[in-house]
Structure 1
C-alpha cells in the first residue's frame, strides 16, 4: 500500500500530531460530508425510482422483487468485498477504537456506501446515519495509513471521522462530538475534542451546503411552535417509561432476530438480506402508499399529521421490519428507525393526553392545557433513541439540533433520561458492546495485558545522562568523539537547546559536506530539528516513531531542552528483564545476595543438584527426591536457604539469625551420609530469593535444580509464583518442580508423553525416582483426539520397550483420547489410582503456554495426586 514519505530533515514537520490536527480534521470533515451527501442522494434517487415504479407497474410485483434483488446484491457486495461493512457499522468502529484488529479503510468505506444505497433504496427498514459513522471512520482510518500517524492519534482520527459522519448524517455537529465521547472514547482531552469538533463542524457544513439546506438554523422538521407546561410532566414521564420499556424490548428483539438467522436460517449473507428485502416488500404492499417511502414516513409521523390508527400501524410495522432487516445483517443503522418509532410512540401518548383533557372537560392545569401531539412526537424521538442506543445526551442533542427549538429541551431531558434508566435496568450496557459480544468480541473482558508496559512512558526508560556534541564542532573532532565512544549517534546541543542529531551515517554521507572539507562542522551535516518525544509520551508512541522512521534513538525533550535519550537498546534491555521474570523490571535492581554460612563436603561428583529449602514440612521429601537422583547420577547435592530482608537494608549489613536455617540444612547433611552423596550447604541473605537462587546456580555451576511448589499462586501476573517463574525463565540448568499431595506416596507413576525432548528428560529421571516406592508401577500415557489405531501406538510401545530395559518394575501402556488433554490425563490418573504424575514441559510450556490455560498448569491445579514437572536444560547457541 502507498504511504507518504518525507526526507529525514523534514520529518519533524509531520510528527507532532497537534501540528496536523487542524489539517487532518478539515480533510476528514470534508470527505465525510461529501460521503454523507452522496449516500443520502443515492438512497433518495434509488428509493424515489422504486416508489415511482411501484405506481406505474403492479406493486405486488415491483416492491418484493426490488427488495429481493437489492438485498441479494447488497449482501453479495459485502460478502465478496468487505465483510466488515455488514450491519450498522457502529459496533465495528467501537471495536477498532478498542484496538481490536478490524479493517477501517477506503475499501470498507466504498463498499459500505454502495451496499447501503442499494439496501435502503430497495426498501429495507433501516437508517443511513449509522453507516455514515462507519464511512467517516473508515475514511479517517485510510488517511491515517497515508500520512505518518501514531497508533494513539490514529484512534483519535478515527473517532473524529465517526463524529463527522454522524454530524453530516443528521446535520448535527454537536451531537456528532457528543456521541463519540459518550459511546466510543470517554475521552475529554483537548486533542480528542478539538479534532472531533472541527471535523464534525466541517462535515455538517458540507452536508448542509451540498444537501440544499444552506446554513440557516431554522427548524428542519416542524414549523409549529413547541409549547410545554407543568401538566405535561406526568405524560412525559409516562412517555419515558413506555419508551424505555419498548426500547428494551426492541433491543432484545434484535438479538432474537440475529439468533434466528444464525441458528435457524443458516443461509449465506446475500440470501438472508434478500429474504429481508422480499419480506419488507410483501408487507409494504399491504399497507397505505405512505409506507413505501421510509424518509417521508418519519416526517409524516413526527409532524403530527397522522391519525392515531396510522401511527400505531407505523410503529408496529417499523418495529417488525427493522428487526427482520437488522438480524439478516443488512447494511443499515438503527438511528432512523429508533427516531421513527419514538415519534410514533410520542404521538400516541400526545393524542392520549389530549383525549384525556377533552374527556375531563377542562385543561389539566393552569394556565394552558397539554401540549400538542407534535411536541410529544419530538420528545418521543429522543426518548426511544436513548432507550435503544443508551446515549441520552446524544439523543437530546440530536433532536434539539434537528428542530432547533429550545423549548423542546426540557421535554427531551425528561423523556430521554427516564427511558435510559428503564432500558438500562432491563439490560445494562451499550447495545453496541453487546452486539460485539454476540459476535465474540468482548470489550469488557480483560484482554491479554501488557502488564507494566501499558503504563510505561519515555521517562521510565530514557537515559538521563546524555553525551552531547556542539554544532560548532569540526568534522575531525566529531570523528574523534565517535571513536572514543560506543554510541553511534549524538544529540547536538547549543546553550542547552537541542538543535539537531548526528549519526555515523551522517559522517559517512559525503553528499552533505560543503566543498571545503576543512571548514565542515556538525551544523553542516547534522539532521536539524530531529524527531523527539516528551517524557510523558507513552511507550507506544516511542515504538511507533522508532519503527516508522527507522531510527535507533530518540531525544527526549521538554520544550527545546534535552532531558534524556531513549534507544532501541534501552527498550530491548527492559523487555529482556520483563521476559526473564525480574521482580522489579523497571525499578532499581536488587543488590547481590550475601553469603553468611556455608559448608563444603570433601567428595565431588559429575554434576551438581541444587535444592532451595524454605518449608520445614516439605523439606524432608524434597531432600529424599534430590538424594535418589544425585545418587543415580553421581551428583553433588547443594542445599540453599535464603533469608529475605527489606530493600531498605543491605544484604551485607543486615543482622540475621541463622539458627533455624542451620537446623534445616543439618537434615540435608545427615541424608547425604545415609545415601553416601556429597552435600554442600549455604545460607544467603537477599532482597529477592529468586535472584539469590540464580546467583547460586551461576556460581556453583548447577546442572539440575529441584524446587517445591504449592500448586497455585495468588500473585498477579505470575503462573507458579514470583520465585519459581523467575527461575524457570532464567535458569539455564534443568528444572524440576514438585507439587506434593498428601498422603505422599511414590508407588504408582503416570508418565504422559507427546514425543518431545522434555518428555524424554522426564523418562531419564524415572530410574532413580521409582526407587522411592516399595512396589513401583509405571504407566505411560499418550492422549489422542480419538480412539487410536494400532499403528498409532507404535511410538508408545517403543517408549515402553526402552523403559523396561532401565526399570526394575512393571511398565504398562495406557492410551487415552479426548478433546482436552488435561481432562484425559486426570481421568487416567484417577482410574489407575496413581500416586504421581510426571510431566515434561519446555520453558514456554511451563510459562507462556500456561498463560493460555495449557497442559502442565491445568493438570497440576486439578490433580489429586503429586505432580512433578521437568524442564530440560536451555542450550545457548554459540557464535
Structure 2
C-alpha cells in the first residue's frame, strides 16, 4: 500500500476514535445530568422542599435530549465488530461466459487467504431424458470452467472445478453448498425485467431464498462493462443486510481506493432516523480506517437511488436483500426489485446468512 494511503488510513482511524470518544463523553455527561436531576427530584419529595424542582427538571430535560442524540448512534456503532467480509469456502456456479470474469473477480475479492474457491457448472437434465444426456454437454461445461479457472489463477487462486448433472439446478447448488460447508455463494444474473413470480430467474431466486450461507448476486446488463469499484453507491435502511452491503463496499474500497456513498431515502419525518443511520455508517467506516460519504434524500426511494447513481456516475450499486419472512413469494422487496430493474450500472445484491 502506498505511503500516502497508509497515512490517510491512520488519519481516518484517528478521526474515528476521536469522534467516538467525544460522543461517548457526551453520552456519559447526558446520563450524569439525568441521574443528577432524578436525585434532586427525589430530594425534593423527601425533604418537601421545592427549591430544587426547577434545576431538577432542567437537568432531566437536558439529559434526556442529549441521550436521545448520542446513545442511539453509540449503540448503532456497537455492531462494528461483526464478522468480516472474507470467507473460507466460496462456491461459484458458472453458467454464462459473459459473467465469468466478474464473478471470479468478486469471489476472489471475498475469499480469505488460504480459503477454498469452487467453480461449478450444473448441467440440468430434463425429466424426460436419461442422465447420459449430460455427457453431450460436458465439453462445453469444461471449457467454461477452464476459462473461469484461468481468471482465478491470474489472481493467485487455484480453484477446485466440478461438473454436476442434476434434474433440479437450484437444488444441486444448495446441496453442494451444504456438502462443502460453503459460507458464500456468488452467482450472476442478467435478469433486468421483473416477471410475476421471480426477479432473477428460478435458479438464482431459489438459491437466494434458501441458501444456508451468505449469497451475493451480480446483476448485470450486457451493455455494461465488467464490475468496477471506483464509485460505489450503498442505499441503506440500517438493517443487517444493508449493513453487510456497506461492509462489502468498504472492503472493495480498501482494495481499490474508490469512493463509497451511503444513501438514505425517506420522508421529512424520517430525517432523524436517517441521520442516525448515516452517522453510524460514517463512524463505522472511520473505525475501519475507511471513509464514506453520506447523502440524505427525500422523495421516492427508487427514483432517488436511480437518479443519484446516474447523475453521480456510479459504477456499482450494492444493496441488501430485504428481511421479509421466507413465506413471501419474493425474497426481495419491491424497492430492491425496481433498483435492479432500473439501475444504470451493475448491481450487487447481498443476503447475509441469518
Fold-level similarity (TM above 0.5): yes
Report what 2:292 is aligned to. 811
Note the C-alpha offset of 1:640: 0.7
Report what 1:699 is aligned to. 179
Query: Larger RCO: Structure 1 or Structure 2 (Cα < 8 Å, ≥ 6 residues apart)?
Result: 2
Deviations along 1:317-368, one digit per CA (max 9) or x if unpaired, are xxxxxxxxxxxxxxxxxxxxxxxxxxxxxxxxxxxxxxxxxxxxxxxxxxxx
Alpha carbons of structure 1 residues 624 and 786: separation in structure 2 relative to 1, 3 Å: same
Note the C-alpha offset of 1:656: 2.8
Report what 1:610 is aligned to. 91
CA contact (8 A) 2:194 2:341 kept: no
CA contact (8 A) 1:610 1:706 kept: yes
Note the C-alpha offset of 1:737: 0.9
Instruction: Provide the TM-score with structure 2 as the length reference.
Output: 0.67
Note the C-alpha offset of 1:868: 0.8
Partner Cα distance (1:769, 1:845) in 2 = 30
CA contact (8 A) 1:719 1:725 kept: yes
- In the TM superposition, 1:560-599 aligns within 5 A as none
Partner Cα distance (1:854, 1:638) in 2 = 32
Alpha carbons of structure 1 residues 611 and 717: separation in structure 2 relative to 1, 3 Å: same
Residues matched between the structures, number: 266
CA contact (8 A) 1:803 1:811 kept: yes
- Please give the secondary structure, in 2, of the residue aligned with 1:842: coil
- Please give the secondary structure, in 2, of the residue aligned with 1:803: helix
Partner Cα distance (2:193, 2:295) in 1 = 31
Corresponding residue to 1:731 among 211, 220, 223: 211
Partner Cα distance (1:788, 1:639) in 2 = 44
Deviations along 1:627-658, one digit per CA (max 9) or x if unpaired, are 11114x75311111111222123436753342
Note the C-alpha offset of 1:709: 1.2
Alpha carbons of structure 1 residues 747 and 606: separation in structure 2 relative to 1, 3 Å: closer
Report what 2:73 is aligned to. none
Alpha carbons of structure 1 residues 791 and 846: separation in structure 2 relative to 1, 3 Å: closer
Report what 1:667 is aligned to. 147
Q: Does 1:769 align with 2:252?
A: yes
Alpha carbons of structure 1 residues 853 and 754: separation in structure 2 relative to 1, 3 Å: closer
- Please give the secondary structure, in 2, of the residue aligned with 1:676: coil
Q: Does 1:799 align with 2:290?
A: no
Deviations along 1:48-82, one digit per CA (max 9) or x if unpaired, are xxxxxxxxxxxxxxxxxxxxxxxxxxxxxxxxxxx
Note the C-alpha offset of 1:689: 1.4
Alpha carbons of structure 1 residues 787 and 817: separation in structure 2 relative to 1, 3 Å: farther
Corresponding residue to 1:629 among 81, 102, 110: 110
Partner Cα distance (1:826, 1:710) in 2 = 18
Deviations along 1:273-323, one digit per CA (max 9) or x if unpaired, are xxxxxxxxxxxxxxxxxxxxxxxxxxxxxxxxxxxxxxxxxxxxxxxxxxx
Report what 1:433 is aligned to. none
Q: Does 1:708 align with 2:188?
A: yes
Instruction: Provide the TM-score with structure 1 as the length reference.
Output: 0.28
Note the C-alpha offset of 1:843: 5.5
- In the TM superposition, 1:297-446 aligns within 5 A as none
Corresponding residue to 2:159 among 679, 683, 693: 679
Q: Does 1:862 align with 2:342?
A: yes
Report what 1:780 is aligned to. 262
Partner Cα distance (2:271, 2:135) in 1 = 66
Alpha carbons of structure 1 residues 857 and 639: separation in structure 2 relative to 1, 3 Å: same
Partner Cα distance (1:791, 1:694) in 2 = 37
Note the C-alpha offset of 1:790: 6.8
| Larger CA Rg, structure 1 vs 2 | 1
CA contact (8 A) 1:845 1:854 kept: no
Note the C-alpha offset of 1:732: 1.5
- In the TM superposition, 1:45-60 aligns within 5 A as none
Partner Cα distance (1:847, 1:836) in 2 = 30
- Please give the secondary structure, in 1, of the residue aligned with 2:341: helix
- Please give the secondary structure, in 2, of the residue aligned with 1:614: coil
- Please give the secondary structure, in 2, of the residue aligned with 1:617: helix
Report what 1:740 is aligned to. 220
* Structure 2 gap ranges (5+): 1-85
* Structure 1 gap ranges (5+): 1-604, 875-879
Report what 1:647 is aligned to. 127
CA contact (8 A) 1:850 1:856 kept: no
Alpha carbons of structure 1 residues 715 and 782: separation in structure 2 relative to 1, 3 Å: closer
Corresponding residue to 2:316 among 836, 852, 857: 836
Report what 1:620 is aligned to. 101
Report what 1:688 is aligned to. 168
Deviations along 1:443-499, one digit per CA (max 9) or x if unpaired, are xxxxxxxxxxxxxxxxxxxxxxxxxxxxxxxxxxxxxxxxxxxxxxxxxxxxxxxxx
Alpha carbons of structure 1 residues 655 and 668: separation in structure 2 relative to 1, 3 Å: closer
